[in-house]
Every structure is written in structure tokens, then in C-alpha cells.
Structure 1
């Protein structure tokens, strides 16, 4: 029985990263709290600022992907802090030799939040802003930059300093999140929903009264989100390779394109 448990533990360890990685910095012996707490404070401040300067009824605040992404940063940061604090107090390998639920939750949030933040930035400045129909969506230019640029900067910091891996196989996680938002826009449209100015859409480029045009935008957006996940995996792999080289040890290595940790 003991031998069977040891074999099971070895198998699980070969397919999951060491739990302590989630509460470490990839380069130096500093606590992730040094960047995760400021990111949480920043995200909560921008969220409050966004509510105060929202251009429509507050009941419509979460119609927009931007605000979904900002809330994701808040939740991801909270779980990142929990994981870090737990690591400093105990070895959080659970009874099945797998990752505890709060570590798994953080990892999923991390996998979703970072590529979604990059998508929001590029989608907003590259598509929505160039459409010439977004002036009324940005009553405060500083807040506009924080929402659609600061989000990516914050998540880039998280990506560059964290020590745990990003895996290619997790590409379905950000795509499922995007699908959830897409289904929300469809249901909202067919339920007779409208934006704060009475238009039968949330974003002018995602207008379900023009299904062919919208289908093209949605498809290209999904492909770009998938590309952003690949970029995250590549950056994480490069980050860990550089970290391992400079430390000249058998330290942390991100095999994002395989199953080994």
C-alpha cells in the first residue's frame, strides 16, 4: 500500500509543478507580495475610479469586457496573495500529493487574466479606437489609458516575476472565458438589451444584427487570444530559461510545451 502511494505521488509530481513555485519570484529571493499587493491595490483603485466615471447606469457596468478583465485582475491578485501567504506558513501539498484548490484556482485565473488583459489592450487601441466610434466611452483620458494599457502592464509584471509555469495545453482556459463573454453578448442581444445610448449592441464592432461582420470580428479575436496565450507561454519559458542560466543551478524551468514541470 505504501509503495502504491509513493508511485501515485511520483506520477502526480511529474505532471504538476512544485506547489511552492506559485509563491516564489523567478529571479531573486523576494516575496511575490512585493508586486501582487500593489497590483491588487491598483486594480481596486481603477475599478472604483471606473465606477465613479462610468458613462451609463451602474447596472450596465459589467456589460463591457474591459470591466470583466479588471475584475479578473482583482480576483487573480487576491488568490496570488493567498497562495504566497500560505506558502510562507506551511507546505501546501495536499493529501493527494496534488495542488490545493486555491493554488489550482489561482493558476486558472493567471492563465486567463494575462492573455485577456493583452487582448483587451490590443482590441481596444487597434480595433475599437480606430473605428472612430469610441469617443464617448472614454470620458477621462487618464482612466482610459489605465483601463486599456495599465492592465497589460500589471499583468506583464506578474508574468515576468512569477516562477510557476504557463502551459500550452491550458489554451482552452482563456478561450472558454472568451466564449462565456461571447454567449453573454448573444443572450443580451436577443433579450432586447442595449447599451447606455440605446443601441442594440454592447460594442459597435460586435453587433449581432450584422451576424456576418460580427462573426469575422469574433473569429479574429479568438485567434488573437489564442496567439496571446502562446506569447505568454513563450515569455514564461524564456523567463525561466534566463533565470536558470543566471543562477547556474537546476532551478526553475518552465516546460510550457510539454507535461513535465
Structure 2
């Protein structure tokens, strides 16, 4: 039992250093063969969308507080994931590294960012529309600000889900600790921000009202619920990836192996 336990929870399983096929990180689930070109095209389009939203956010509301918000952390992670995915595709094209089990650093980086960015993006969208969005403020915000909110708290999640559905990137349940670690780190950052006397753009001593550490009990409950939410979201992503692999293997990637013709039976006289 100890051997089985160690094998199932080895470092290579918990980390993002090995996988059966490198092609899982550069080929699409919905193609025959393992050419990196289809997924490279898809990632280029998705990256253009994510970069456009990121630049829109920076231009529309430039302020020194931009980096304190979880939404903007998510934007940077989304863009980083997609750019690292493009790097994986380009490296395969130019260096011809098609099939290795020990992943190169850029594939491991993409995989870790994928696990964190996709989960966090969906979680940010859920938290914003459930806890922070106030429909009464839409007229006060203006149409441009409203659609920027829709882009940063909705379209980015769609971009991440598109990456999940189009790619073959594996989703392993033991990797749950990666998005959980990022969520926990942001909670710690918000505590440091509060204890250091940080102020948001409106002069409030917190980043978000739901992360007001002057009300420690309530905020601790919010953080604990958010951690549980990350588990649910990651489980959802894991389920989506599982269905993707099952369907694509059944409908698209199923191949028949050409077996060599059997030699004639020496007991039979074939003319």
C-alpha cells in the first residue's frame, strides 16, 4: 500500500514535469495527427482577444492601484498562459521536439499557468457577478465601463474555457493545489495590504469590501468559502477536460492501426 501511495503521489505527479506526450501541449483535441499548426492559430486568436482586453483595461482606467485587484491578476495570468502556449507551439515547430516525456521548462510553465489561470478566471467571474456587481450602478458607470466589466469578468473566462476545449492540455486532479495556492496568496496579500495601511482608489482601507479585514470573522468566512469555490471550479474544469478527451477520442482522434498481412498458413495450400 505504501508503494502504491508513493507512486500515485510522486513529485512528478504533483508537479508539472512529466507527461506521456508532449503533443498534449501543442496539438488540438479536434484534429487528426499531431501538427502544432491548428492549435497555434487558435492560441494566436485567443491571445489577441486577451491582450486587447488587458490593454483596454490599462488604457480605460490607468491608476497606480491597478495591480492590487484580483481581476487584473487574472488578466495577467490569462495573457501569460496563452503566450506561453504559443511559445510551446513555436518551439515544437522550430526545434522539432515532438515526443518527449520529460517536459521542457516552457511546457511546464504553460501547464502550471494553465491550471492556475483557467480556474482563477472562472472563479473571478463567479465572485464578481455574485458578490460585487451592482446593477443599480450601471448608468453611473457608463456603457464603456460596463462593457469593460463584461470583458474582464466574462469574456476572459470564455477565452480560458476555449483554451480548455480546443487544446489537449491534461487536467490532473492533484494539481488542484496550484490554483488554491494562488488564491491563498491573494488572501495573504490582502491582509498585508490592510495591516500596512493600504488604501484603494477611493481611500478605503481594503481592496474589496468583502475582503475588509477590520471585520475579520466575516472576511475569514468569505476566504474559506472562496477556497471551497476554487475546489468546485477546478473540479468543473477537470470534468470538462475529461469529457473533451472522451468525445474527441471517440469522434475525431480514433485511428485504426494498419496491421501487416498475416503470412499464409503453411498447412493450407493457397493458390
1:81-92 correspondence to structure 2 within 5 Å: 81-89=86-94, 90-91=96-97
What is residue 124 of structure 1 aligned with on the other side?
Answer: 128
Partner of 2:249: 244
**1:51 counterpart = 2:29:** no
- Tell me the SS of whatever aligns to 2:84: helix
Deviations 1:126-159 (CA, angstroms, capped at 9, x unpaired): 1111597899788611111000000111001001
Q: Shift of the alpha carbon at 1:32?
A: 1.0
Indicate yes or no: 2:98 matched with 1:71: no
Provide Cα deviations, 1:164-198, integer angstroms capped at 9, x if missing partner.
21000000000011111111111111000011111
Matched, 1:32 2:39: yes
> In 2, distance between residues paired with 1:71 and 1:176?
17
> In the alignment, is residue 111 of structure 1 matched against residue 115 of structure 2?
yes
The Cα of 1:92 is off from its aligned counterpart by 5.4
Number of the residue aligned with 1:201: 206
Q: Is the 8 A contact 1:93 1:99 kept in 2?
A: no
- The 3 A distance-change label for structure 1 pair 136 and 185 is farther
Q: How does 1:84-233 map to 2 (within 5 A)?
A: 84-89=89-94, 90-91=96-97, 97-129=101-133, 140-233=145-238
Give deviations 1:81-114, integer Å, cap 9, x for gaps: 01111122311566xx511110000000000010
For the residues of structure 1 that align with 2:140 and 2:116, how far apart are their CA atoms?
28
Q: CA offsets, 1:18-42, max 9 Å, x none?
A: 1121000001255212221122111
How large is the RMSD of aligned CA atoms in angstroms?
2.4
- Per the alignment, in what secondary structure is the counterpart of residue 133 of structure 2? helix
Structure 2 residue runs without a partner (length 5+): 1-11, 257-271
**1-structure distance, mates of 2:253, 2:190:** 50
1:17 shift after superposition: 3.0
* Aligned partners of 2:138 and 2:146 also within 8 Å: no
Evaluate the alpha carbon distance shift between residue 208 and residue 132 of structure 1 in structure 2; reply closer, same or farther with a 3 A threshold.
farther
Normalising by structure 1, what TM-score? Answer: 0.83
Structure 1, unpaired ranges of 5+: 1-11, 252-261
Tell me the CA shift for residue 16 of structure 1: 2.0
Determine the structure 1 residue equivalent to 2:24: 21
Kept in 1: contact 2:30–2:253 (CA 8 A): no
